[in-house]
Structures are given as C-alpha cells and as structure tokens.
Amino acid sequence: MRLSWDRILAKRVAAFRPCIRTDFSRLSAPPDTIHFTGGAPPVECLPTEPLAEELARAWRSEPTALWYGETEGYRPLREAIAARLARRGAVVDPDTILVTQGAQQAIDLVARLLLEPGDRVLVEGPTYFGALQVFEPYAVRIEAVPLDEEGVQLERLEELLARQPRPKLFYTVPTFQNPAGVTMSLERRRAVVELAERYGVPIVEDDPYGDLWYETVPPPPLRAFSEDVLSLGSFSKTLAPGLRVGWLVAPRYLMKPLIDAKEAADIQSDRLLQRAIAAVITSPWYEEHLTAARRVYGTRCRTLADALARELGDLATWRLPGGGFFLWVTLQGDVDSAALLPHCAAAGVTYVPGSDFYPDHRPSPSFRLGFTTLSIEAMLVGAERLGRALRAALVEAAGR
Amino acid sequence: MRLSWDRILAKRVAAFRPCIRTDFSRLSAPPDTIHFTGGAPPVECLPTEPLAEELARAWRSEPTALWYGETEGYRPLREAIAARLARRGAVVDPDTILVTQGAQQAIDLVARLLLEPGDRVLVEGPTYFGALQVFEPYAVRIEAVPLDEEGVQLERLEELLARQPRPKLFYTVPTFQNPAGVTMSLERRRAVVELAERYGVPIVEDDPYGDLWYETVPPPPLRAFSEDVLSLGSFSKTLAPGLRVGWLVAPRYLMKPLIDAKEAADIQSDRLLQRAIAAVITSPWYEEHLTAARRVYGTRCRTLADALARELGDLATWRLPGGGFFLWVTLQGDVDSAALLPHCAAAGVTYVPGSDFYPDHRPSPSFRLGFTTLSIEAMLVGAERLGRALRAALVEAAGR
C-alpha cells in the first residue's frame, strides 16, 4: 500500500515552486544559445586562490571549527561585516548580525518570524523572485509597489502602507535593484524609512549588490536611517554564490528568536567557510578584488547597453544601472516578453521574462538581461540575435 | 519611533526556543566541570587531513563549484550516499536523495511539507530535542510513544496511529536512539512500517548513528522496508558536525516540492564541501576511519558504564547501547533529574536532563550522558562526581 501524499501534504505545498517560474528546459534552443539569464560572478572573478589559502589555514589552525559552535555565526566574521557596513554609512553592533546560508536564508528566517496567513506583504514591482518564492507559501497577499528612476514610488507606497490591515513588511532591494537595476536616491531612502516608521511597518532591505558600483558609490543602506530595518546581505555576488554565506542585520529585540529559528533550521552555518571569508574580506586583496570586479561589470554593462542601442534601440528602452548585475529592458507597446521568449530561444538567445518578477505573474513588456558571466564577444552576438528575433516576432505578432 | 515588534511578530514565534531547554549558562559550576552534554565526534576523530586534501582538490579542479548549481545536491555525493545505504540494506535511487544542511534541515523541510496547525505528530518518548524544536512552532499536538528495549512500543503506537485525526507523521530515531540509546529490533521495524502503512501515516526516520555501531551491525534502516519512509542522515556524527552536510531520502513524489522548498530555504548547500565529502566517503580511508571511530566510541561507552556501575549502581539503571553517542541513565524513584542538575553542576559534572527530550517537558528521572568527546580519565572523574552529588542530593531530598 502506498500513502496518499496528496491528502497528507500541507496546503502550503501548493504554493511551492522554483524561484524562476519560466521553465527554460522546455524551450527549444540551439546548443550555442547565449543565456542572459545568469546572476553570478564570472569564473574569472571567483576568489579561488585567496579563499583556498584562507580555508586551508582555518582548517589547520582551528580543527574545532569542524564542530558544533555558535549558531549566530563566527564572531570575527560578524565584526568584519559590521566594519564594512560602517564604511557604507550603517553603524551596527556585531551582536545584531546573524550569519545565514546566503541572503536567501535571511529572507526565509524573516518570513518565519513575521508572516501569517492572510498578512499583507509589500514588494517592489518588479522584485527579486526568490523573495516571492519564500513569501508565497505563507498564504499572504503580496502587493507590488511600482518603481521610478529614484526607486519605489512614494505615493503608491504610502497608499498601500496606510491601508488596513497594516502590511507585515515591505521588502525592497534599494541598491542596483534585481531585476530593474534602479537605485533608490538618498532623499527617497529617508522618505521610505520615515513612511514605514510612521505606519509601523518593518522594512526588509535586501542589499547584495551595494559594493558592486561601477563609478559612483551608492547612498548608504536603509539600515543607516533606522535600527528597525532588517537588512540582509551576501557574499554570493562579491565572492562566490557556491559558498552560501550571507547575513541578516536585525533589531536587537529580534536576535533571540532569529537565533532560535536559525538553530531549528540548520543548527549553524558551516564554520570553516565563515573563518575563511572573515580572513579574506579583511585582507587588502578584497578591496583589489572589488575594484577589479567593478571594472569588469561596468565594462560589460556598458558594452551590452551599446550593443542593445544598435540592435533594438527602436524597439525598447532601458536605463543604465550604476552597479549590479542586470539590465532591465522594456519593449514598446503592449507585448508580453514571456510570449516572445520561445522565438528568441529558437534564435539562440534567452532572458528572464518580466512576468517572473511580479507576484501576480502579470504579462510584462520587460525582461531582465544578466551580463556578468558573458564575454564581450558573447554579448555582442547575443544582442544581435535578440534584436533580430524580437524584431521578427513583433512584426509577426503585428501582422496577425 | 520604534516599531512594536510584539504586535508584529507571527504567533509561531512564541514557540521558538533553543533545542536544549535547560539553560546551562545559569548553572553555577566550577571551571573544571566535566560536561556529559556533548553529542559530537571528539577532535581526535575529526577527518581534518583527508577532508582538507579533498577540499583543496575540489577547489583546484572545479572552480565552478563556487557557483550556483544543483539545488538537489551534487550528483556523485547522492550516488555515494545511495551506495552506502544499499550496503545497509536500503536500496534507493540517488534521484530520491536531497542533500541538506545537516539532518536538521531535513527535519525542517519535512515539517514544511507536512505540518499544519492542529496536526497530530507522533514522536518517541524520549526523542531528539532538535526535532521538537522544529515541530513546535507549527502549532501541532506532539504525542510521545514510549520505548522498550526493542524500540517504540507497538501497542501504544497503534493506539495513537488509529486515533483521529490521523497523525501527520511519526518521527523516530530507530538506531542507537538519541537520547535513549535503544535500537529498534528487526521484527519491530517490520511491524512499525506495516502499522504506519496500514494507518496511512508517514514515517520520518532520523538515522545519523547507523554507521557507528560498536560490535554488531544494526538492522537495516526503516527505508529498507518501504519507499514511503522519509529517511534522513548526516555526516555530522561520522565526519564532522561543522560541515553541515546531511541528506533526506524521500518518496519520489515528494522530490519536486522538497527541491522547491530547499531552494526557497537557502538555494543550495555549499558545493565545495559536497565534492570533498563525496571523495572522502568513497575512499578506503573512510572505512578505516569508521572502524577506528567505532572502537573509540565503544571503549568510551563501556568505560563509562563500568564507572557508573561502581559509582551509582545502587541509585540508577541504564542499558548499554550497541552504538551511537549516548548513555541514558534512569534514577530510581520519583525524582526529577532537572531538579538535581544544579547540585551536580556545583559538584563539577553536568548532563542533559530527561525532561528536555519530551514534548511536554515532563519531569523525568532519566538523564542523557554523552561520552564521545571525553577522555577516559575525564569520564572516570565525572562518574565519581556524579555518584557523589546524586547520592547527596537524593539523601537530602529524602530527608526533607
């Protein structure tokens, strides 16, 4: 006899899904397809040597790092994170930092702490799909606040904050936003924090890209303006995503339940990697690494934007981000980029359609291009294919 | 203005707590106190050299292991886990194995998949406290099924399985149980699986100690008798807890939602460590390591039991486990080991009181002694202190 799993599973399972809803494996694409879908540092920017050295050192010098230990995270790593945040304008006590399995676990722990069925949750529209993936199984109502060139739109945000029941949180990626590339201005940051405080709604700030500006340092994290902001970060973009080391800065009052939740979730993060990362990010190498990475990403971004201007300047618009990993392209007219994706894939180029970044999966004329893992040559070919395929698909659609 | 976190937090947070409820930091104990509270391999059994070598190799040979990758886990590691399970009698498809952040995350993911408020959950009494820590915030009703020398008591189990609403799961540590040291007999295993199938209740088998027998190989995991058993394991006890690598064998039907849940929780486990562990556990070194570890743990267990017989043979009873990390000692009479703990701590010896291993935190005359991390000398001193302190405390209590 086999169990009837359908009857046994919790209702929330119906809301489980992969972070990207688009099933790329179902697209028919040639083997040499150029995928603008990535969101990771390129292999040549991975810190293989210095991390390997520090890991070997941690291993030899601290065999008890292979043991059970501090659930909240390795103290020198928390201090190093605090020191880096201080340089960006957010002064935080290392005791209010929890080390997590990447920023993703930080989002997950925050959801555990705050969300109940029926709660309202505000996100940006578009927003990071991995956050939607966490929030949706809590049976919450997710509402998207639109962005403009300075970040989330204040009037719409206030309108939604003021409504009852009060939202449980406002999730934002204020700096080099994923996917839209937008950076919240200094003035907007102050205003957003003030609004959230006025309406008693916690801000959850996701800030994995803040150190990856191209030419101009972005404004301080939202956490700089209020101790009530939950601020999360990651070494996935600045070092390597495979390490799974991120953090959560939380109001002091929340640290005890957060540490309990972390312990229930996985007891602790890997302790050797925490030691190696603490050594790496406090070494002179790290600043050189960031400087080099900024140059690489800035060059790739400009190259892609230039190529797009040539290939689909008449079809679409975009805004140059000041940092981060993504270009957000918006096609003219009332089109759904998800519907056009199969045509592009057939022509050997892919993107993540805009609909994946909205809680209601609404059709979107926008799509996200990730450029960090692609060579200049690949991007030029990709942009050319993209222009050709979109043009053909749009002409075909118009002719119908 | 500061946020009113008390009003904002989800109701489940009231059920968050550390895995061990006893607050050892509040005990007054001399600096040379001998702590029988550990549950980890000793430093001398940590696989520092071979793991360091394999990790360096993985690092050099596969820089893309620092990237995003397979959420379900590194395929060769899943194959190696399947091969080890097959040798223990459980034939499983590697595609039905999910690599997790230690077995703790496996428990957490299973709870996400199955539990809703008001559900009934069966555990053994006593049971692993880390499982209670996961289940409690789901607002479920946890019921403990007593153990005898062959494992969970069948009559009591059937009685609770038969009751409506059906339990959502039965969580068991069938082999070298934590904390009781009991191993479910072969006959009992068959009967338990049959009962659970008859009543349509999933079994969640937690099996971190199965490879750590002293002299006799234990019966096969429950997963050997039914594909509906969710079976979880870990390298925390056989290699090192600091690595945070475990696994979950699940019915095929559950793999898709489990992978989605893992992705939402932390995207993936660290990929370098998975590579290093896959290499280590398929090397001849691993079998030698297990053989040596079995000898160390068996010797420590017998030494402690002999010392206990001398020091408190007239006060308490225990059963020699056939493997694992723990001796479960039961004092005679109607006493609460938690109440006696401060006396023992003052005399320089500690244990985990039995009440920590029951969902209702009931007073228990039993306590758990972990012996793996202590030297023979320390154990002898610890047993002597334990006997003296308990004797004095019991005499004092009787005199009141």
Report which of A148, A155, A119 is spatially closest to residue A136, judged by C-alpha positions.
A119
Is B252 at the interface with chain A, CB within 8 A? no
pLDDT, tens digit (0-9, with 9 covering 90-100), for A62-91? 777 888 889 999 999 999 999 999 999 999
Give the pLDDT band of residue A1 (cuts 50, 70, 90): very low
In DSSP notation, B343-391 reads: HHHHTTEE-EEGGGGSTT----SEEEEE-TTS-HHHHHHHHHHHHHHHH
With an 8 Å Cβ cutoff, are B40 and A130 in contact? no
pLDDT given at position A250: 98
Handedness of CA B292, B297, B302, B303 (dihedral sign): positive
Do A218 and A210 form a contact (C-beta atoms < 8 A)? yes
Report which of A220, A163, A168, A226 is spatially closest to residue A193, judged by C-alpha positions.
A226
Take residue B380 and report the two structure tokens written for it: 């002898």
Q: Give the pairing of strands A151-152 and A366-370.
A: unpaired
What is the Cα–Cα distance from B203 to A10, expressed in whole angstroms? 16
Which chain A positions have a beta carbon within 8 Å of B293's beta carbon? Answer: none
Q: Is the pLDDT score of B343 beyond 60?
A: yes
Which chain B positions have a beta carbon within 8 Å of A228's beta carbon? Answer: 2-3
Strand order in the sheet with A316-318: A316-318, A326-331, A366-370, A352-353
pLDDT, tens digit (0-9, with 9 covering 90-100), for A249-261? 999 999 999 999 9
Mean of pLDDT over chain A: 95
With an 8 Å Cβ cutoff, are A10 and B112 in contact? yes
Q: Is the pLDDT score of B287 beyond 80?
A: yes
Take residue B46 and report the two structure tokens written for it: 């940590």
Do A232 and A106 form a contact (C-beta atoms < 8 A)? yes
Take residue B119 and report the two structure tokens written for it: 């559900």
Interface with chain B: mutation pick from A7, A67, A223, highest number of B CBs within 10 Å = A67
pLDDT given at position B63: 75
* CATH (one of 3.40.50.1000, 3.10.450.50, 3.40.640.10, 3.10.20.30) for B48-282: 3.40.640.10
What average pLDDT does this structure show over B21-44?
94
Residue corresponding to tokens 């409504």: A163
pLDDT, tens digit (0-9, with 9 covering 90-100), for B45-91? 888 888 888 888 887 777 778 888 899 999 999 999 999 999 999 99
With an 8 Å Cβ cutoff, are A113 and B13 in contact? yes
pLDDT, tens digit (0-9, with 9 covering 90-100), for A83-131? 999 999 999 999 999 999 999 999 999 999 999 999 999 999 999 999 9
pLDDT given at position A400: 67
Residue type, B276: A
Residues forming a β-bridge with A231: A205, A249
Residues forming a β-bridge with A234: A246
Torsion, Cα A157 A219 A193 B13, to 10 degrees, reads 100
Instruction: State the CB neighbour count (10 A cutoff) for residue B152.
Output: 27
Do B11 and A116 form a contact (C-beta atoms < 8 A)? yes
Do B128 and B173 form a contact (C-beta atoms < 8 A)? yes
With an 8 Å Cβ cutoff, are A260 and B18 in contact? yes
What is the Cα–Cα distance from B277 to B128, expressed in whole angstroms? 25
Q: Is the pLDDT score of A221 beyond 60?
A: yes
pLDDT given at position B397: 78
Report which of A197, A215, A206, A203 is spatially closest to residue A236, judged by C-alpha positions.
A206
Do B242 and A68 form a contact (C-beta atoms < 8 A)? yes
Q: Give the pairing of strands B349-350 and B34-35.
A: parallel
pLDDT, tens digit (0-9, with 9 covering 90-100), for B154-195? 999 999 999 999 999 999 999 999 999 999 999 999 999 999
What is the Cα–Cα distance from A331 to A309, expressed in whole angstroms? 13
What is the Cα–Cα distance from B134 to B17, expressed in whole angstroms? 9
What is the Cα–Cα distance from B13 to B259, expressed in whole angstroms? 25
Do B328 and B126 form a contact (C-beta atoms < 8 A)? yes
Residue window 140-179, chain A: list those with CB within 8 Å of chain B: 168
Length in residues, chain A:
400
pLDDT given at position A58: 83
Q: Does the bond joining A241 to the residue before it have cis omega, within 30 degrees of 0?
A: no
What's the gap between Cα A213 and its chain centre? 15
Burial per residue of B316-326, b for 16 or more beta-carbon CB atoms within 10 angstroms, e otherwise: bebeebbbbbb
Residue type, A14: A
Report which of B221, B264, B215, B258 is spatially closest to residue B81, judged by C-alpha positions.
B221
Give the pLDDT band of residue A397 (cuts 50, 70, 90): confident
| Architecture of the domain spanning A22-39+291-398 | Alpha-Beta Complex (3.90)
pLDDT given at position B395: 85
Take residue A364 and report the two structure tokens written for it: 């979107």
Q: How many CB pairs under 8 A join A and B?
A: 230
Residues forming a β-bridge with B247: B99, B233
pLDDT, tens digit (0-9, with 9 covering 90-100), for B312-336? 999 999 999 999 999 999 999 999 9
What is the Cα–Cα distance from B207 to B237, expressed in whole angstroms? 10
Is A231 at the interface with chain B, CB within 8 A? no
What number is the ipTM of this complex? 0.95
Q: Phi-psi category of A181—alpha, beta or left, where left has phi over 0 and alpha has psi -120 to 50?
A: left
What average pLDDT does this structure show over B298-324?
97
Residue corresponding to tokens 């993209």: A386
Which chain B positions have a beta carbon within 8 Å of A262's beta carbon? Answer: none
- Any idea where the domains of chain B sit in the sequence? 22-39+291-398, 48-282
Minimum-distance CB partner of B59 among A8, A9, A48: A48
What's the gap between Cα A261 and its chain centre? 22
Residue window 371-390, chain A: list those with CB within 8 Å of chain B: none
- Which parts of B88-149 fold into alpha helices (H)? 102-114, 129-135
Which chain A positions have a beta carbon within 8 Å of B52's beta carbon? Answer: 56, 59-60
Residue A307 DSSP code: H
In DSSP notation, B221-255 reads: PGGGG-TT-EEEEESTTTT-GGG--EEEE--GGGH
The CA-based diameter of chain B, rounded to the nearest angstrom, is 69
Report which of B52, B16, B356 is spatially closest to residue A61, judged by C-alpha positions.
B52
What is the Cα–Cα distance from A70 to A52, expressed in whole angstroms? 23
Is A261 at the interface with chain B, CB within 8 A? yes
Do B101 and A101 form a contact (C-beta atoms < 8 A)? yes
pLDDT given at position B1: 46
Take residue B201 and report the two structure tokens written for it: 């209740």
Which chain A positions have a beta carbon within 8 Å of B43's beta carbon? Answer: 63-64, 67
- Which parts of A163-319 fold into alpha helices (H)? 186-198, 255-266, 271-281, 284-312
Do A37 and A24 form a contact (C-beta atoms < 8 A)? yes
Which chain B positions have a beta carbon within 8 Å of A4's beta carbon? Answer: 200
What is the Cα–Cα distance from A70 to A56, expressed in whole angstroms? 21
Which chain B positions have a beta carbon within 8 Å of A277's beta carbon? Answer: none
pLDDT, tens digit (0-9, with 9 covering 90-100), for A124-163? 999 999 999 999 999 999 999 999 999 999 999 999 999 9
pLDDT, tens digit (0-9, with 9 covering 90-100), for A367-382? 999 999 999 999 999 9
Q: How far is B364 from chain A (nearest CA, A)?
A: 24
Give the pLDDT band of residue A323 (cuts 50, 70, 90): very high
pLDDT, tens digit (0-9, with 9 covering 90-100), for B213-235? 999 999 999 999 999 999 999 99
CA distances from A65 to A68, A263, A387, B152 (A): 8, 17, 52, 36
Handedness of CA A343, A346, A349, A355 (dihedral sign): positive
Give the pLDDT band of residue B32 (cuts 50, 70, 90): very high
For the entire predicted model, the pTM comes to: 0.96
Q: What percent of chain B has pLDDT over 90?
A: 90
pLDDT, tens digit (0-9, with 9 covering 90-100), for A223-238? 999 999 999 999 999 9
